[in-house]
Amino acid sequence: MSIETTAHLNFDGQARAALDFYASVFGGEVASMTYGAMGATDEPAWADKIVWGQVATEAGLRVMAFDVWPGQPYDQGTNAFYVYVHGDDSAEVERYWAGLSEGAEIRQPLGPSAWAPLAGQLRDRFGVIWALDVAAPTD
């Protein structure tokens, strides 16, 4: 049996912009469904908001996102979760870092760490915390 874990990010009207941004950083395609297309709302302000969306890449990275339901409380929190990206190619991880860094708060600069040749953490322009690292070589 195989199990996958996918980060599901919740937004208050920014899901489409966030998914587009993550696709620009990681590659892959955005797939999404709006509240209006699903018939889930009669409110014109909610018709184009995302009820389901994801970015999936050929390398296997997947991030899901949606805009919280109309009337549902939204509080992103401060440290509720991280999206953790762990790879074995330094150049690829550095490329992701460079993309995510646009408008981000750097919490730990990308560099050598006690556990990895490269590791870093940032809060992106949408308030999502990303931790990235490169696998340590094994003998």
Domain containing residue 114:
83-134
Q: Is the pLDDT of residue 1 over 70?
A: no
Q: Is the pLDDT of residue 2 over 60?
A: no
Residues 45, 95 within the same domain: no
Residues 100, 52 within the same domain: no
**CATH classification of the domain holding 122:** 3.30.720.110
Q: Which tens digit of pLDDT belongs to each residue from 21-80?
A: 999 999 999 999 999 998 888 888 889 999 999 999 998 999 999 998 877 888 877 767
- The reply to whether 113 falls in a domain is yes
CA distances from 41 to 9, 11, 44, 48, 106 (A): 21, 17, 8, 10, 38
Q: What is the DSSP letter of 6?
A: -
- The reply to whether 76 falls in a domain is no
**CATH classification of the domain holding 54:** 3.30.720
